[in-house]
Amino acid sequence: MQQLISDLQAANIGDIRIHERLAPYTTWKIGGPADVLVISHEKEQLSTLIRMLYERGVPWTIIGRGSNLLVSDKGIRGVVIKLGSALESLRFDGATVYAGGSYSFIKLSVLAAKEGLTGLEFASGIPGSVGGAVYMNAGAHGSDVSRILKQAEVILDTGELVIMQTEDLQYAYRHSILHTLPGIVTEAVFDLQVGERKEIAGAMAAYRDRRLRTQPLQLACAGSVFRNPVGEFAAKLIEEAGLKGKRVGGAEISPLHANFIVNTGNATAEDVLTLIQEVKRIVQDQYGISLVPEVLVMGER
């Protein structure tokens, strides 16, 4: 590992941090150390980094803005990558939007609304980066990324930079081909529509007010923990099972929204995972429905 670190430093691939705790980099504020954390500030740095890791057979993981993500207490082996500020680019060309992979998805929706463009209203409450949203096919309020994405620029695990059209990403509910074809989204191009600013602002305000009333946004969390089963809502099933407020260690099923698990201050990844398994067991026993986690679990168990 020391030789790899020396090689990475010589290649000038960004900021390199050894045995860095990952909890501060996640919205759950949970997670052990990375063997090596690299913050790449330029696309060329990132491509060089991925190519070097590929040639050496070193595993890598990308964490983006750390939402929708649970890092294990033992941390992540190999190299963890975080995209730096240089990949936060944003450009409007009429109704077409070019957004860098590390750009805030929420901020993108707000600025698109100010431009009088409709199509991204659903994103106004989805934390995380544009790249993460493309990877997960993030969605809410009856819409998702697949409906507005034109194409994505992706660095594959070989270091090759490719352009993937929407159909290439093989989108499904909270899923894309990038779950099985490792790659990092460096830019996304969205096709929006010109709309009425007042209508767009009104829809976003309604979504914001609903979030403030129903979601524990003041506490460390990762958004919705479980996918909605077909024809059902995970939150409704969990609430009807009487699980609101249930705790394991420092992890708690939010009394405000049953599909949120919050860190009350000292939660570990094992606390969260134990609580997830308990929720799955009880819902399966009571309703015969198998809940599938939406959050990504990363790291050594």
The pLDDT tens digits of the residues spanning 16-47 come to 999 999 999 999 999 999 999 999 988 889 99
- Please name every residue paired with 183 in a beta bridge, in sequence order, or none if there are none: 156
Confidence at 187, pLDDT banded by 50, 70, 90: very high
Q: What residue type is 252 in one-letter code?
A: E
Residue among 173, 223, 187 nearest 26 (CA)? 223
Q: What percent of the chain has pLDDT over 70?
A: 100
The answer to whether residue 51 sits within a structural domain is: yes
Region 164-174: what's the mean pLDDT?
Answer: 95
Q: Give the pLDDT confidence of 122-142 residue by residue, as tens digits.
A: 998 888 899 999 999 998 888
Residues 186 and 270 in one domain: no
Q: Report d(CA 155, CA 38) in Å as an integer.
A: 16
Catalytic residue among 65, 224, 252, 254: 224
Q: Residue 290: which residues within 8 A CB-CB, separation 6 or more? A: 229, 280, 283, 284
The answer to whether residue 211 sits within a structural domain is: no
Confidence at 1, pLDDT banded by 50, 70, 90: confident
The answer to whether residue 209 sits within a structural domain is: no
pTM over 0.95: no
Q: What is the pLDDT of residue 151?
A: 98
- The pair of three-digit structure tokens given for residue 146, joined into one six-digit string: 């697949």
Catalytic residue among 174, 187, 252, 254: 174
Residue among 136, 283, 143, 291 nearest 229 (CA)? 291
Residues 102 and 167 in one domain: yes
Q: Residue 101: which residues within 8 A CB-CB, separation 6 or more? A: 64, 83, 87, 129, 130, 131, 134, 153, 184, 185, 186, 187, 188
Confidence at 210, pLDDT banded by 50, 70, 90: confident
Residues 270 and 290 in one domain: yes
Q: What percent of the chain has pLDDT over 90?
A: 85
Let me know if 224 is a catalytic residue: yes
Residues 94 and 193 in one domain: yes
Region 284-290: what's the mean pLDDT?
Answer: 97
**Helices 197-214 and 105-114, interaxial angle, to 10°?**
150
Q: What is the pLDDT of residue 75?
A: 98
Helix (H, G, I), strand (E, B) or coil at 167: helix
- Number of domains observed in the structure of the chain: 3
Residues 195 and 224 in one domain: no
Residues 17 and 118 in one domain: no
The answer to whether residue 204 sits within a structural domain is: no
Let me know if 174 is a catalytic residue: yes
Region 273-279: what's the mean pLDDT?
Answer: 98
The answer to whether residue 31 sits within a structural domain is: yes
Residues 150 and 137 in one domain: yes
Residues 151 and 222 in one domain: no
Q: Give the pLDDT confidence of 232-273 residue by residue, as tens digits.
A: 999 999 999 999 999 999 999 999 999 999 999 999 999 999
Residues 226 and 281 in one domain: yes
Q: What is the pLDDT of residue 25?
A: 95
Let me know if 109 is a catalytic residue: no
Residues 95 and 184 in one domain: yes
Domain boundary among 199, 227, 244: 199
We report the CATH number of the domain holding residue 265 as: 3.90.78.10
Containing domain of residue 133, as a range?
Answer: 88-199
The answer to whether residue 207 sits within a structural domain is: no
We report the CATH number of the domain holding residue 174 as: 3.30.465.10
Average pLDDT, the chain: 94
Residues 99 and 192 in one domain: yes
Q: What is the pLDDT of residue 129?
A: 93
**In the predicted structure, residue 199 carries a pLDDT above the cut 80:** yes
